[in-house]
Amino acid sequence: GAGVSQSPRYKVAKRGQDVALRCDPISGHVSLFWYQQALGQGPEFLTYFQNEAQLDKSGLPSDRFFAERPEGSVSTLKIQRTQQEDSAVYLCASSLRDASRNEQFFGPGTRLTVL
Amino acid sequence: KQEVTQIPAALSVPEGENLVLNCSFTDSAIYNLQWFRQDPGKGLTSLLLIQSSQREQTSGRLNASLDKSSGRSTLYIAASQPGDSATYLCAVRGGLDSNSGYALNFGKGTSLLVTP
């Protein structure tokens, strides 16, 4: 497609459930990022991929969060044993090449609500 | 840690006014700065990207400036329209964090309302 797509757009989970959020970056984009945006806040960095390699996962809040990009295109963010504090919008972004200089393009996000 | 602050947090102006949104950051060792627009319930739309070697960028009614040494950027919107109502986010890439080459560090945004 023309832009970054994410699915599902909305997800409601009961506390303790596992969830998987999908990101389809712009075709040919090497770099892929995940961010978490709490209500009323700016997005916070979670993790970064260059192709299939996860180069930085320093922003992942706990070991319940796991991300992968096995073939260097689609990425999945998995949250195990969800907690209420995980409720947020999860944004995916991609950029063409070198992440330090290129513009990041964002998807519409997945709004996760944990009950 | 790179801290990004946006002032004001909220702004309401009548249609047709020119306005300025402010962004400041604590670490001037940045690669670039990006301004985004976010509509309610939507993702982020990139408006302007300013590389560290540049001082300003323009797109239509928008003009963004960057003063890296003082850690400041402004987004100028000319002749505002109701359709400009949204949250405007400033983000910088770079600083002394371990992820400084990768991640964007965001402010909390300025919520803009342009009334007819």
State yes or no: pLDDT of B17 exceeds 60. yes
Task: For residue A9, report the phi and psi dihedrals to the nearest 5 degrees.
Answer: -75, -35
Among partner residues A40, A91, A101, which is closest to B31 by beta-carbon distance?
Answer: A101
**Between A and B, how many residue pairs show a Cβ–Cβ distance under 8 A?**
73
Mean pLDDT of the region B68-97: 92
Rg (CA), chain B: 14
Strand A110-114 and strand A10-13: the pairing is parallel
In chain A, DSSP finds a helix count (H) and a strand count (E) of: 0, 11
DSSP state of B82: G
pLDDT tens-digit profile of B40-75?
Answer: 888 899 999 999 999 999 999 999 999 999 999 999
Confidence of residue A102 (pLDDT cuts 50, 70, 90): confident
Residue B101 is predicted with a pLDDT of: 67
Confidence of residue B97 (pLDDT cuts 50, 70, 90): low
Helix (H, G, I), strand (E, B) or coil at B6: strand
What's the confidence (pLDDT) of residue B102? 76
Q: Cα–Cα distances in Å, from B54 out to A30, A93, B35, B58, B64?
A: 25, 24, 14, 12, 10
- Quick check: A44 contacting B, CB < 8 Å? yes
**Residue B103 in this model has a pLDDT that exceeds 90:** no
CA end-to-end span of chain B, whole Å? Answer: 41
Q: What is the mean pLDDT of residues A17-23?
A: 98
What is the spatial distance between Cα A113 and Cα A85, in angstroms, rounded to a whole number? 9
| Side chain identity, residue B79 | A
Tell me which chain A residues have a C-beta less than 8 angstroms from the C-beta of B103: 33, 45, 48, 56, 59
Extract the runs of DSSP E, i.e. beta strands, from B26-84.
30-38, 44-51, 56-59, 62-67, 72-77
Q: Residue A54: name the closest of A74, A70, A36 by CA.
A: A70
The first and second tokens of residue B75, run together, are: 């987004």
CB A107 within 8 A of CB A95: no
Nearest to A73 by CA among A52, A56, A96: A52
DSSP state, B70? T
Q: Pick from B42, B51, B107: which is nearest to A101 by CB?
A: B51
Backbone angles phi, psi at B32, to 5 degrees: -165, 170
At A24-83, the pLDDT tens digits run: 999 999 999 999 999 989 999 999 999 999 999 999 999 999 999 999 999 999 999 999
Calculate ∠ Cα A92-B95-B75, nearest 5°: 70
d(CA B38, CA A2): 19
The Cα–Cα gap between B82 and A110 comes to 27
**Least CB–CB distance from A91: residue in B34, B41, B44:** B44
- At B99, is the pLDDT very low, low, confident or very high (cuts 50, 70, 90)? low
Comparing alpha-carbon positions, the chain A residue that sits nearest to B52 is A101
Residue B20 is which amino acid? V
